[in-house]
Every structure is written in structure tokens, then in C-alpha cells.
Amino acid sequence: MSSFKIFDIAGSGMSAQSVRLNTVASNLANADSVSGDPNSVYRAKHPVFQAVMGNPGDLSTAQVNVTGIAQSQAAPETRYDPGNPLADAQGNVYAPNVNVVEEMADMISASRSYQNNVEVLNTSRDMMLATLKLGQS
Amino acid sequence: MRTSLDSYLGIHPQALSLEAQRNELLAANLANVDTPNYKARDIDFKSALAAAGGNTSAAGSASGSAAVPSVPTPTVAAPLASASSGIDPTALKYRVPMAPSLDGNTVDEQLEQSAFAENSVRYQATLTFLNSALRDLMTAITGS
């Protein structure tokens, strides 16, 4: 039934935003996971969203799909910390390229988008239940 | 060939189905609020209803134009090229963004939210019209 597609659409939006919230949580949790090797240090992860259009004759179904998780290519931060057991021969450790302020803004944006989709779902459900009662009152 | 029940209910069944489709479209816009290069779409309600209703009766079109005025024209742009099964293709349009964005996304969260709220109220209004029409019919049938 076509009217049930709205649940798929809002559901795909919710799952995409929750993937985004998961990557934010992962990035924030690992913001201080230093490493002695600049190549093995944790890198900030961000989901890549893509709109999935329905059949050519059915233009209104545009679900969201997470096509993958991109790793940030920014250089890791170098810290001089010779007392750290992970420090390399020069006494440096490498911190992840996670921008904590950016992640917090991303988290708020993802949370608001998730709430939007929940709101769409609730409103649609109420409307469908009202439609089911058509002619009964 | 229209049955008498169709003409009795007027434009409201078509309006209800169109409003459901518009809700789906707005839900898709809201779900893709963070998708790069996604272009927000909307229905030009007046022309879509004219296409869906076709030869509506005078009473139907009069009540229809009062109940469902068209969406504001500045918010919609060029029609989509490809055809759609449910919605009249000339009525399905891309929204003109108020401000450009770096990722090519044209969804305005606030605008879509208000459009969604407005459309669901319209849907419920149409339901109320249909309900009262059916109740009147039941009263006429049962005679009490």
C-alpha cells in the first residue's frame, strides 16, 4: 500500500541519523585515544548519506541510505609527551583528528533531524488511524 | 462514468489521496535533510487537484477551491521531466531554495516542517468533510 511508504521513508531517516549519532559518539569517545604511530591513530568517522529514489514512475519515495563511513583525511595532531609509554623515539604521541566542537554541533543536528522524523511518523500514524475510523463516528 | 455516491462526496476523496501523497513527499524531504545534493520537491496542489479531479461538479469544485487553495507560488519552480504514476507530473516541482548551501541540498527544515503541519491539518479537515457527508447519508438511510 502506498500510504505505508511514509513509515519506510521516516524510518530510513531515523536509522541514518542514528548511524550519524553513533559515529559522533565514537569520535567523541576516542578524542583522546593517542597512539605512537601517526598511521594507526584513530581518525574521525563520518557517515555518507545518499537519497534512494524509488522506481522511475514513483517519484515521491526518496529514502535515505548510508552508503558508507568516510574517515577524515586531516593530519593527526602531534603532541610532545615523552613520559607517555606510547611515545615514539622523538617523544611524540599522535592524537586523533577529531574536532570536538564540530562533533557536538553534528550531534545536535543529528538529534534534531531524528526528532523531526519521529514527529512525521507520529503525525502520519494519527492520520492513518483517523482515516480508519472514517464513517464510523 | 461517475456513480451518484462519487458525485455526492464531491472533490474530497481526490483531495484526501493527494494530501496523503503530498505528506509522503514532505516526509521524504524531511528524511533527506542532511543528504548532499538532494533537491526538495513539492506538489503544486491546485494543478494536481485539477488533474486528479478532472470534470468535478460545480458544487465540488466550489467547495474544493475553498477548502484547498494552492501552495504559495514562490516556493515551487520548474516541473519535473519524468512522469509519475500517482501525481500529475506537471504538478510535481522542485522547491526554490531561500539560501544556497555548500552541499547542494535544498531542504529548508523549518519550511518543510510547517508545510507538513499545514498539510496534515488539511488532511484532517478533508476527513472531517468526508465524515460529515457520510454521517448525513447514514441519517438519510436509517431515517433517525
Per residue in B61-94, pLDDT tens?
333 333 334 444 444 455 444 434 456 666 788 8
* Neighbouring C-beta atoms of residue B85, cutoff 10 Å: 12
| HSE toward the beta carbon, residue B131, CA cutoff 13 A | 13
**Start-to-end Cα distance in chain B:** 32
Segments in chain A below pLDDT 70:
1-3, 55-60, 137
B32: burial class by Cβ within 10 Å (0-12, 13-18, 19+)? Answer: buried
- Residue B135 C-alpha cell reads as 454521517
Chain B residues within an 8 Å CB radius of A134: 127, 130-131, 134
* B24 vs A contacts (CB less than 8 Å): 2-3, 5-6, 9, 60-61
Partner-chain contact A137 B135, CB within 8 Å: yes
Band (B54; pLDDT cuts 50, 70, 90): low
Question: Cβ contact (<8 Å) for B32 and A49?
Answer: yes
Residue B4 is predicted with a pLDDT of 81
A5 touches chain B (CB under 8 A): yes
> Which run of H or of E encompasses B93?
strand B92-95
The pLDDT assigned to B9 comes to 87
Predicted local confidence at residue B75, as pLDDT: 47
Q: Which of A54-58, B72-76, B99-103, B128-132 has the lowest mean pLDDT?
A: B72-76
Instruction: Report the chain B residue with the minimal C-alpha distance to residue A2.
Output: B21
Cβ–Cβ contact A7 with B under 8 A: no
Q: Rounded to 10 degrees, what is the CA torsion of B129, B130, B136, B140?
A: 160
Q: Which of B16, B24, B120 to mutate to test the interface with A (most CBs of A within 10 A)?
A: B24
Q: Which three cell numbers stand for residue A85?
A: 609509554
Bridging pattern class, strands A62-71 and A77-80: unpaired
- Residue B89's pLDDT is 65
Residues of chain B with pLDDT > 70: what percent? 72
ipTM value: 0.81
- In chain A, which residues have their Cβ closer than 8 Å to the Cβ of B29? 62
Report CB contact under 8 Å: B31, A62. Answer: yes
The predicted structure's pLDDT at residue B70? 43
Q: Amino acid identity of B49?
A: L
Mean pLDDT of chain B: 77
